[in-house]
Amino acid sequence: QAKAAKSPYQLKYHIRPSSGLLNDPNGFSYFNGKWHVFYQSFPFGAAHGLKSWMHLISEDLVHWQELGLALTPDTPLDSHGAYSGSALPIGDKLFLMYTGNVRDKDWIRHPYQLGAWMDKNDQIEKLPEPLITQPEHTTDHFRDPQVFQHNDHYYVILGAQDKATKTGKISLFRSSCMDSI
Protein backbone atom coordinates (compact mmCIF):
# COMPACT_ATOMS: atom_id res chain seq x y z
CA GLN A 1 0.00 0.00 0.00
CA ALA A 2 2.86 2.37 0.72
CA LYS A 3 4.30 1.76 -2.76
CA ALA A 4 0.88 2.20 -4.40
CA ALA A 5 0.25 5.46 -2.50
CA LYS A 6 3.51 6.94 -3.85
CA SER A 7 2.87 5.89 -7.44
CA PRO A 8 2.25 8.81 -9.85
CA TYR A 9 -0.30 6.56 -11.58
CA GLN A 10 -2.36 6.01 -8.44
CA LEU A 11 -5.60 7.96 -8.72
CA LYS A 12 -6.76 9.60 -5.51
CA TYR A 13 -10.47 10.10 -6.22
CA HIS A 14 -11.83 6.59 -6.62
CA ILE A 15 -12.50 3.58 -4.48
CA ARG A 16 -9.68 1.09 -4.21
CA PRO A 17 -9.12 -1.88 -1.93
CA SER A 18 -6.56 -1.76 0.84
CA SER A 19 -5.32 -5.09 -0.55
CA GLY A 20 -6.20 -7.66 -3.15
CA LEU A 21 -9.02 -7.70 -5.67
CA LEU A 22 -11.80 -5.19 -6.13
CA ASN A 23 -14.48 -6.79 -8.30
CA ASP A 24 -18.10 -6.01 -9.24
CA PRO A 25 -19.52 -2.96 -7.45
CA ASN A 26 -22.81 -3.89 -5.77
CA GLY A 27 -25.68 -2.34 -3.87
CA PHE A 28 -25.10 1.31 -4.78
CA SER A 29 -27.84 3.09 -2.85
CA TYR A 30 -28.79 6.09 -0.72
CA PHE A 31 -29.81 5.05 2.79
CA ASN A 32 -29.84 6.66 6.22
CA GLY A 33 -28.47 9.98 4.90
CA LYS A 34 -25.43 8.42 3.20
CA TRP A 35 -24.42 6.84 -0.06
CA HIS A 36 -23.54 3.17 0.22
CA VAL A 37 -21.57 1.00 -2.16
CA PHE A 38 -20.35 -2.54 -1.74
CA TYR A 39 -17.88 -4.42 -3.89
CA GLN A 40 -16.74 -8.00 -4.22
CA SER A 41 -13.46 -8.39 -2.43
CA PHE A 42 -10.72 -10.98 -2.27
CA PRO A 43 -8.07 -9.42 -0.01
CA PHE A 44 -5.25 -11.93 -0.58
CA GLY A 45 -4.25 -10.96 -4.11
CA ALA A 46 -5.39 -9.76 -7.49
CA ALA A 47 -7.12 -13.09 -8.14
CA HIS A 48 -10.67 -14.45 -8.11
CA GLY A 49 -10.77 -16.29 -4.80
CA LEU A 50 -13.38 -16.65 -2.07
CA LYS A 51 -15.36 -13.42 -2.45
CA SER A 52 -16.95 -11.26 0.24
CA TRP A 53 -18.63 -7.84 0.07
CA MET A 54 -16.77 -4.78 1.36
CA HIS A 55 -18.87 -1.80 2.48
CA LEU A 56 -18.11 1.88 1.95
CA ILE A 57 -20.13 5.02 2.74
CA SER A 58 -19.97 8.62 1.56
CA GLU A 59 -21.81 11.86 2.17
CA ASP A 60 -20.61 13.52 -1.05
CA LEU A 61 -19.74 10.70 -3.51
CA VAL A 62 -16.11 11.89 -3.48
CA HIS A 63 -14.79 10.99 -0.04
CA TRP A 64 -15.42 7.38 0.95
CA GLN A 65 -15.06 5.66 4.31
CA GLU A 66 -14.46 1.92 4.34
CA LEU A 67 -16.56 0.11 6.95
CA GLY A 68 -15.03 -3.31 6.35
CA LEU A 69 -16.59 -6.62 5.43
CA ALA A 70 -20.36 -6.60 5.07
CA LEU A 71 -21.24 -10.02 3.62
CA THR A 72 -18.93 -12.96 4.11
CA PRO A 73 -19.26 -16.53 2.82
CA ASP A 74 -20.11 -17.97 6.22
CA THR A 75 -23.24 -20.08 5.70
CA PRO A 76 -24.02 -23.28 3.77
CA LEU A 77 -25.84 -21.10 1.20
CA ASP A 78 -22.82 -18.93 0.31
CA SER A 79 -19.91 -21.14 1.39
CA HIS A 80 -17.89 -20.54 -1.78
CA GLY A 81 -18.51 -16.83 -2.20
CA ALA A 82 -20.84 -13.86 -1.81
CA TYR A 83 -21.35 -12.93 -5.46
CA SER A 84 -22.93 -9.90 -7.08
CA GLY A 85 -26.24 -8.33 -6.20
CA SER A 86 -27.98 -5.10 -5.36
CA ALA A 87 -29.61 -3.11 -2.55
CA LEU A 88 -32.91 -1.35 -1.98
CA PRO A 89 -33.96 0.91 0.92
CA ILE A 90 -37.21 -0.44 2.41
CA GLY A 91 -38.62 1.39 5.40
CA ASP A 92 -35.88 1.98 7.96
CA LYS A 93 -33.59 -0.77 6.59
CA LEU A 94 -31.52 -1.48 3.52
CA PHE A 95 -32.33 -4.76 1.80
CA LEU A 96 -29.33 -6.53 0.25
CA MET A 97 -29.80 -9.28 -2.31
CA TYR A 98 -26.90 -11.31 -3.66
CA THR A 99 -25.95 -14.64 -5.19
CA GLY A 100 -24.55 -17.20 -2.79
CA ASN A 101 -22.08 -19.48 -4.54
CA VAL A 102 -21.86 -23.09 -3.33
CA ARG A 103 -19.70 -25.88 -4.74
CA ASP A 104 -20.43 -29.55 -4.07
CA LYS A 105 -17.87 -32.36 -3.68
CA ASP A 106 -17.62 -32.63 -7.49
CA TRP A 107 -17.00 -28.86 -7.69
CA ILE A 108 -20.36 -28.25 -9.38
CA ARG A 109 -21.73 -24.78 -8.66
CA HIS A 110 -25.14 -24.28 -7.03
CA PRO A 111 -26.27 -20.64 -6.99
CA TYR A 112 -28.73 -19.33 -4.40
CA GLN A 113 -30.35 -15.91 -4.44
CA LEU A 114 -30.03 -14.67 -0.89
CA GLY A 115 -31.23 -11.71 1.14
CA ALA A 116 -30.05 -9.72 4.13
CA TRP A 117 -31.26 -6.68 6.05
CA MET A 118 -28.95 -3.85 7.12
CA ASP A 119 -30.14 -1.57 9.91
CA LYS A 120 -29.30 2.11 10.52
CA ASN A 121 -26.22 1.05 12.50
CA ASP A 122 -24.86 -0.83 9.46
CA GLN A 123 -25.46 -4.19 11.15
CA ILE A 124 -26.39 -6.93 8.70
CA GLU A 125 -28.54 -9.98 9.31
CA LYS A 126 -28.82 -12.60 6.59
CA LEU A 127 -32.13 -14.30 5.88
CA PRO A 128 -31.96 -18.00 6.81
CA GLU A 129 -33.48 -19.36 3.59
CA PRO A 130 -32.87 -18.63 -0.11
CA LEU A 131 -35.26 -16.20 -1.75
CA ILE A 132 -34.90 -17.89 -5.14
CA THR A 133 -33.34 -21.22 -6.07
CA GLN A 134 -32.04 -22.22 -9.46
CA PRO A 135 -34.81 -23.15 -11.90
CA GLU A 136 -34.46 -26.52 -13.64
CA HIS A 137 -34.23 -24.93 -17.10
CA THR A 138 -31.08 -22.93 -16.27
CA THR A 139 -27.42 -23.81 -15.93
CA ASP A 140 -25.43 -22.80 -12.85
CA HIS A 141 -25.06 -19.38 -14.51
CA PHE A 142 -28.04 -17.97 -12.61
CA ARG A 143 -26.91 -14.91 -10.70
CA ASP A 144 -26.53 -11.18 -10.08
CA PRO A 145 -29.99 -10.18 -8.76
CA GLN A 146 -31.13 -6.62 -9.33
CA VAL A 147 -33.99 -5.73 -7.01
CA PHE A 148 -36.41 -2.82 -7.43
CA GLN A 149 -39.89 -1.75 -6.42
CA HIS A 150 -42.73 -0.74 -8.72
CA ASN A 151 -46.15 0.15 -7.30
CA ASP A 152 -46.99 -2.42 -4.62
CA HIS A 153 -44.57 -5.13 -5.72
CA TYR A 154 -40.88 -5.93 -5.56
CA TYR A 155 -39.14 -7.30 -8.63
CA VAL A 156 -35.88 -9.14 -9.13
CA ILE A 157 -34.13 -9.41 -12.47
CA LEU A 158 -31.56 -12.20 -12.77
CA GLY A 159 -29.11 -13.17 -15.45
CA ALA A 160 -29.50 -16.79 -16.50
CA GLN A 161 -28.22 -19.25 -19.05
CA ASP A 162 -30.75 -21.55 -20.68
CA LYS A 163 -29.76 -25.19 -20.19
CA ALA A 164 -30.98 -26.39 -23.60
CA THR A 165 -29.65 -23.61 -25.83
CA LYS A 166 -26.76 -22.31 -23.68
CA THR A 167 -27.94 -18.78 -24.49
CA GLY A 168 -28.29 -15.89 -22.10
CA LYS A 169 -31.72 -15.13 -20.68
CA ILE A 170 -33.26 -12.74 -18.21
CA SER A 171 -35.40 -14.13 -15.42
CA LEU A 172 -37.96 -11.89 -13.73
CA PHE A 173 -39.53 -12.58 -10.32
CA ARG A 174 -42.22 -10.64 -8.44
CA SER A 175 -43.31 -10.52 -4.80
CA SER A 176 -45.37 -8.41 -2.45
CA CYS A 177 -42.64 -8.64 0.25
CA MET A 178 -38.86 -9.07 0.29
CA ASP A 179 -38.65 -11.88 2.84
CA SER A 180 -39.94 -14.31 0.21
CA ILE A 181 -40.19 -14.08 -3.54
Report the pLDDT value the prediction gives residue 58, as an integer from 0 to 100. Answer: 96
Report the pLDDT value the prediction gives residue 18, as an integer from 0 to 100. Answer: 78
pLDDT along the chain (181 residues), means of 10: 78 78 93 97 87 96 93 97 97 97 96 98 97 95 97 96 96 85 58
Report the pLDDT value the prediction gives residue 180, as an integer from 0 to 100. Answer: 61
**Based on C-alpha coordinates, what's the Rg of the chain?**
17
Which long-range contacts link 172-178 to residues 24+ away (Cβ below 8 Å)?
A: 173/132, 176/152, 178/88, 178/90, 178/95, 178/97, 178/115, 178/131, 178/147, 178/154
Q: Across-strand partners of 38?
A: 26, 55
Report the pLDDT value the prediction gives residue 181, as an integer from 0 to 100. Answer: 58
- Kindly list the catalytic residues: 24
